[in-house]
Structure formats: structure tokens, C-alpha cells
Structure 1
Amino acid sequence: MNKNIQVEIKNQVVKLSLNRPEVFNSFNREMAFELQDALKDAAKNKEVRAILLTGNGKAFCAGQDLKEVTDPDLNPGFKAILEEHYNPIIQLIRETAKPVIAAVNGVAAGAGANIALACDVVVASESAAFIQAFSKIGLVPDSAGTFFLPRLIGFQKASALAMLGDKVDAQEAERLGMIYKYFPADTFADEAEKLALKMAKMPTKALALTKEALNQSLSNNLDEQLALESKFQIEAASSKDYKEGVTAFMEKRKPEFKGE
């Protein structure tokens, strides 16, 4: 049973809450492996159609637990931390055929910020902040920060934030295009859950194909992307959800998608 990741399934949404609030949900080896397992389970569970990732307590995630890396008896080394902890988490988020929503409830720093930015949709509380904290301790951004951040906000701004380690509040993050939306602190949790529920009721197969098309757009040229869109559109058009969507439109009613 997980102790560092709280798992709740309701209405076809799995809510994964980072659960080390006493250290601002910073990652140690145990929590990294528990999150990987929770993401794998969510991907396989046919009852789950959307994944909501958030944090318990005041912070979303403060990144790596520095106590672990400074303790000679606990430190797995940076090669293991990246290749065994964070890189698989990023890959699981991008590869799962379900939407992953990051609900950033507080500070997201270092790897915590970049795990959030790797998700499909990012929403934040107005009290949240994003910090590329690596340079402050002589490190470089990891967890795909150098991949996603410049694609989200542009090369110049990403370069400055990565090097200077400035704190970006939720309002500025939305303005920059770093996140989808921010909400007032008192309504944030409800708004995040409503968004996840809305996505869980959408045509899951079409969302999965959209996600994969976006993934491949990061390296494809125009001709390759047009061919991929054609392939995926044909696949989507053969789904039950497409038939339901068209029928509902013709009958002037709300569609009831099953994710098939």
C-alpha cells in the first residue's frame, strides 16, 4: 500500500496526491517509485479515464529531497535519480493514453515544476508558484524542463527562468502560456476536480490520439504531421464515441461517450 502517494478513484477519475506534506512533497526514491506504480496502474485500469495529479498540504512539490542526496547512506546518485526516478515519470505521463491533469495547489519547484509542465493540462491555485530552482544549487533543469519549458513559453523567457531561477506566480504563468488556467484558492480544488471529471466524460480514444499527435508534433515535419493526422482521424472515425457524437449532434442532445 502506498504511503507517499494517496490514490482515490471516483467517477472514472483517479486522483494521485503527492503525500509528503512535511517536506513539501519533495521526492525521495520511495515516492518516485510509488508514483510510477500509480501511473502504471491508472493507465491499465479500464475504469479510469482521466488522471488528476496534485499535492497534499501547502506545496505541490518542492522537487528532490536534498536530505536524501546529502546522506551518504541514502543517496542513490544523480544517474539513478534521473534515469530511475524522474525520467520514467515523465515518460509515463506522456505515454499514457489518458489525459493527465496537474492541479498545482502550491509551490512547484525544480523537478516538481517540470513534472507538472509535462502533463496534458495544468491548472493552478492563485497561491501557486513555479520555480526552476536548479541554478540556485549549481544544477541544471531536468525532468524534461529544457524540453517543455521553451516550447510552452519561448526560448528567451525559458532561458532566463532556467538560469535565474525566478519565481513565477500563477497569474504570470497563465499569461505566459506556461499553464492553462489559474483559480482562486478557495475554489481551486473543486475547479480542478470538475475539469478532470469533464475530461473523463469526453471521448477518451480521441483524446489519446490527440495526445499522441501532439507528442509526435514535437519532432515531425509538416508532411509527417499531416500524414499522422490522416491516420489518426481514420482511426478515431471508426470509434463508437465518434458514432455517438454524430448521432447526438443530429438528435440535438448531449453525447454520452464511453471511451470506446
Structure 2
Amino acid sequence: MSTYQTVMVERHDAVALVSLNRPEALNSFDAELRRELLLAAREVNNDDSVRVVVLTGAGRGFSAGADLKEMPLDDATWRVDDQINLEYKPILMEIDNAPKPWISAVRGPAAGIGSALAMACDLTVMSEDAYIFQAFSAIGLVPDGGATWQLVRVLGRKRAYEIIATGEKLSAQKCLEWGLCNRVVGTESLLDETLEWAGQLAARAPLSLRYAKRSVARACEGGFAETISDEAEWQRLCVASEDALEGASAFLEKRKPVWKGR
């Protein structure tokens, strides 16, 4: 694994742990963190020996969002839409298009673009002290990084708008009840429990995880008939794979399968 200044990448067998590493700034995003997180995401996504990725933040928070001290508002040539489209969007799409599941492990605040990053992951584990925060209306801005899309898809239009307009801090327990996270665990055990769950997922068939991820994403947007056809195509790919043969053999021989991801 490569070495970065603002990101840490660690291996735990078939699981990669990617940590935002600006704890002194609550992992708020500056130019270096944006650049290095994209490189780290590409690195773990391109590594076939990595089956699952866990994304977290070092220190007491996941991410406070964009580093407002870095925004050159007095520079007439600077455009925030360029920064979102050219720097943040590639990171978010790297997670969304990844051929493996990403799990966000959220402690403390996941605010602004940090919340968008946490919600972009396929699964989310939150510690008891964690919360998702859309602080934009208090500073004259609007959500970005696809946060609006995530909130509307999970919560519906009216509840999503309420959260954005009021700037309510969504506690971990409320996120669990509303479907914005999968599990809530103790603060001190967040990483241990998330890595354990990631390890369990890493033991599953890689192609199954890959195509199920695509199928779920497509089903959220497509119609019933279209989804059936999509599932049929991905099932065809899985049935023709070496892993499907290995899975059947292992079942009949009562042993653990050895997956190859092909």
C-alpha cells in the first residue's frame, strides 16, 4: 500500500482500512486530502486482493466537511462548481462504481461533504456518538456531493427537505431508525466491530458482492421489468464463473470455498 500524508491505508487480510487523516482539523477536506483520497480509493479498488473497503476518520470525528479556511472566496477566478465536479465527484464515483463493497465507519460528526462521503458507501456503521449533519442553511449554502440525492432516496422529499432546511443533527439512533445506517455500536468498539463485519463480507463470493451491488443500485432507479432483465444478465455472468463452480463443489464437499473472483 502507498504512503500518503492526509490518508492512511492499512490492510487487515482481505479488508482495506482507509482513514481520513487530518484529525487536528476534524478531517475537514483541503486540496491535499481530496487529491490523496482519490488516489487511495483507486489503489484499493484496483487491488483484486482487497475484497472489502472500510472508510473512516482518524481521531474523534469522521469529517467536518470542507475546510472553509481553504476556500479562496476573494479569488474571482475560483469556482466552487469546478471543485465539486473535478475534485469531489471523482472520489464519490470511485466509491459508487467500485467492484467491491465500501463500508463507512462513522464516529462523531459526518458533516457537509463528509456526510455525502459516508452516505455514498454501500453500508454504514455508526458509533453511539456519531451524527449526520447538513449545516449548509446556517452558512448560506446548499448540500453538495450528492447528499440531496442520498437523503431523498432514503427519506423521501419532505423529510429530506426538513433536515436540510433546519440543519438538524441526525443522531446515530435516528439514522438507524430511518435507514441511513445499518448498525450502531459502542464508540470505542466502532473500528473493531466494523472490521469484523467487513471480514465476514470479504469471505463471501466476490462476484456475488459485485453484481449484487450493481443490482441494488439499478433497482433503486429502474422499473420492475428492467430489474428482472438486469438480474438475469448478472446471474448469467455469475453462473458462468469459476467461483460458481467452486461454490457448488465446496457445498457438496462440505468445505469452505476458495474464491478467485472470476
Given the two structures, how large is their TM-score scaled by the length of structure 1? 0.94
Which residue pairs with 2:233 in the alignment?
A: 231
CA offsets 1:187-239 (integer angstroms, 9 cap, x no match): 21110111111122211111111111222223322221111110001111122
Q: CA deviation at 1:76?
A: 4.6
Alignment of 1:162-241 (within 5 A): 162-241=164-243
Q: CA deviation at 1:246?
A: 2.3
Which residue pairs with 1:250 in the alignment?
A: 252
What SS is found at the alignment partner of 2:27? coil
| Cα distance in 2 between the residues matched to 1:258 and 1:104 | 31
Instruction: Work out the percentage of aligned pairs sharing the same amino acid.
Output: 36
Which residue pairs with 1:118 in the alignment?
A: 120
Letter in 2 for 1:198: Q
> Deviating runs (4+, > 4 A) in structure 1?
70-73
Instruction: Indicate conservation of the 8 Å contact 2:72/2:78, yes or no.
Output: no
Instruction: Indicate conservation of the 8 Å contact 1:110/1:134, yes or no.
Output: yes
| Cα distance in 1 between the residues matched to 2:188 and 2:64 | 22
| Cα distance in 2 between the residues matched to 1:140 and 1:171 | 25
Letter in 2 for 1:234: R
Which residue pairs with 2:35 in the alignment?
A: 33
Given the two structures, how large is their TM-score scaled by the length of structure 2? 0.93
Cα distance change, pair 153–252 in 1 and its aligned pair in 2 (3 A): farther
Q: CA deviation at 1:72?
A: 4.3
Q: CA deviation at 1:252?
A: 3.6
> Of 94, 97, 101, which residue of structure 2 is paired with 1:95?
97
What SS is found at the alignment partner of 1:218? helix
CA offsets 1:143-194 (integer angstroms, 9 cap, x no match): 1111111212222221111111100111111011110111011221110111
What SS is found at the alignment partner of 2:100? coil
Instruction: Indicate conservation of the 8 Å contact 1:202/1:259, yes or no.
Output: no
Aligned residues: 260
Letter in 2 for 1:90: L
Letter in 2 for 1:190: D
Which residue pairs with 1:57 in the alignment?
A: 59
Q: CA deviation at 1:62?
A: 0.6
Greater Cα offset, 218-227 or 242-251 = 242-251
Instruction: Indicate conservation of the 8 Å contact 1:201/1:258, yes or no.
Output: no
Instruction: Indicate conservation of the 8 Å contact 1:29/1:81, yes or no.
Output: no
| Cα distance in 2 between the residues matched to 1:129 and 1:243 | 43
Q: CA RMSD in A?
A: 1.8
What SS is found at the alignment partner of 1:25? coil
Letter in 2 for 1:22: E
Gaps of 5+ in 1: none
Letter in 1 for 2:87: H
| Cα distance in 1 between the residues matched to 2:129 and 2:245 | 42
Gaps of 5+ in 2: none
Letter in 2 for 1:209: Y
CA offsets 1:48-105 (integer angstroms, 9 cap, x no match): 11111000001100110000115647x9530222112211111111101011110112
